[in-house]
Amino acid sequence: MTAATKRVAVVTGGTRGIGLGVALALAKDGFNLCVCGLRAPEAAEDSLAKLRAAGAEVLYVRADIGSKPDRAALIEAVKAHYGRLDVLVNNAGVAPEVRADILEASEESFERLMRINLQGPYFLTQAAAVWMAEQKKANAAFEGAVINVTSISAEVASVNRGDYCVSKAGLGMATKLFAARLGEYGIPVFEIRPGVIATDMTSGVTAKYDALIANGLTVEPRWGTPEDIGRAAAALARGDMPYATGTVIHVDGGLTLQRL
């Protein structure tokens, strides 16, 4: 497969944590990549080198998903460099800077999380979807897909980070909306809901979740890993789940499984 014929995936927040796990899985599956993040390119070079070593051509774009100009620049960079986009993985997101009870939480924190976690991927998907639809019209064999990485917080209430929960629940509805809209083009839209995953974001609560997992929080008694999410995303990107657009895939070790 030549560089011109390899499928191209954009992974937001693709240089660390879950995003890097997803990007590595896609690289190993033969995708070329565009990953974006807030760090300077030299700060992300270790991650980019890992992706190249896995077989991918990698374009890095420094972009804030919560910024309209940055989202436009990201899409334009992919068009200029690759001339195609096959898979969009909306992974980038932030936690509240301060966890606060919903009776005390600030509007500023709410607005920040909505802008980055919901508004950003919503409108990035809009731009990518328009381009994917154009590619499908030009080539009936085109196989696109959108994958939203949300969280079990889309359905499990945490009253000390309500803004995060609402942003992830909103992205869950966005999955349904875009799945319904893009059906006519044969472009599936999926949602992956990770559980407790070992990343930089969760490093500050390691002791808490070690204890909870030891006491049965999850059916599978371990932390999840970025590789777990990557394998699920790669299966969706490959097209291993046909006739399943709009599906929500829980990768949470059984945390949300109802048990007596």
Catalytically active residues are 164
**Exposure class string for 99-113: b at 16+ Cβ within 10 A, else e:** bbeeeebeeebbebb
Residue ranges with strand state E in 160-256: 189-194, 248-251
Q: Which of 89, 83, 94, 27 is nearest to 56 (CA)?
A: 27
How many whole angstroms separate alpha carbon 187 and alpha carbon 185? 5
The DSSP annotation for 118-141 comes to: IIHHHHHHHHHHHHHHHHHHH-TT
Q: Which of 121, 87, 197, 192 is nearest to 150 (CA)?
A: 192
CA 180 to chain centre: 19
Asked if 220 and 251 touch (Cβ cutoff 8 Å), the reply is no
Asked if 64 and 70 touch (Cβ cutoff 8 Å), the reply is yes
Bridge partners of residue 251, in order along the sequence: 194
CB contact set of 126 (below 8 Å; sequence gap of 6+): none
End-to-end CA separation in angstroms for the chain: 51
